[in-house]
Amino acid sequence: MDSIKNEILVAQKENYLLNKISELLTIHTLTEKELILIIKELHNSKEINIIDAIFNYNKDSFTNKRHQLYCLNTLLDSLLMELDIDLLALIKYSLIIEQTMAIWRLCSEDQNKAKQFFNLVLSNLNEFGNLLSTSISTFDIKTFNYQITILINIITDPKIDISIKQQILFTLSQLSFIGNIEDKDINRIIKK
């Protein structure tokens, strides 16, 4: 384990941390859980900064992009669930790595974070608008009445981009299918 920690520390210093993590995933000498524990320990002790590495993410630096990026994305999603990370940083991470599963899981499990996620997306629609459907889908049915009014206002606002409105309608139709939206709310949306 010490040799792997040293490899990760060298990779951090030389700015190829994500490439090294991807390489370690394909070697198969340790499990994903073991690698997550090592990275978490190094990150929490501030010996590495996995968040900075993600923000400096460069897809072109991977040789076998499809395989390496899939394995790396899976590991990072699991890792980020283990770290105490600021929600805004996690939202930005989701856009960089082009994967939203970590933020969806985190917010689905914590309705306070779901509200915070939704409000951050709403207040930054130009930057985070493509995460609106993800933020809507994290809500529990018990808390949805508050958000439905906001969503109807967005749908009817002529200044909001049509792609964002379409995203809301698509997500609401999915939620109505699985029973997260009551008939009275669907009728309000249809009238608007």
**How much is the pTM?**
0.71
Encode pLDDT of 107-127 as tens digits. Answer: 888 888 888 999 999 899 888
Please check the confidence at residue 74 and state whether its pLDDT lies above 90.
no
- With a CB cutoff of 8 Å and minimum separation 6, the contacts of 99 are 73, 76, 77
pLDDT (0 to 100) of residue 141: 66
Is 77 or 183 the better-scoring residue by pLDDT? 77
Q: Mean per-residue pLDDT for 119-146?
A: 82
pLDDT (0 to 100) of residue 146: 66
pLDDT (0 to 100) of residue 93: 79
Average pLDDT, the chain: 80
Please check the confidence at residue 100 and state whether its pLDDT lies above 70.
yes
pLDDT (0 to 100) of residue 78: 82
Q: Mean per-residue pLDDT for 164-180?
A: 70
Strongest mean pLDDT among 17-31, 117-131, 148-162: 117-131
Q: Mean per-residue pLDDT for 132-141?
A: 82
Angle between helices 87-97 and 101-109 (to 10 degrees): 150
Encode pLDDT of 23-73 as tens digits. Answer: 888 877 788 899 999 999 999 999 998 888 887 776 666 666 666 667 777
Task: Check if the beta carbon of residue 24 is closer than 8 Å to that of residue 4.
Answer: yes
Q: Mean per-residue pLDDT for 8-14?
A: 92
- Quickly tell me which residue has 């082009």 as its tokens: 98
Please check the confidence at residue 10 and state whether its pLDDT lies above 90.
yes
Q: Mean per-residue pLDDT for 144-158?
A: 78
- With a CB cutoff of 8 Å and minimum separation 6, the contacts of 185 are 144, 145, 148
Task: Check if the beta carbon of residue 107 is closer than 8 Å to that of residue 147.
Answer: no
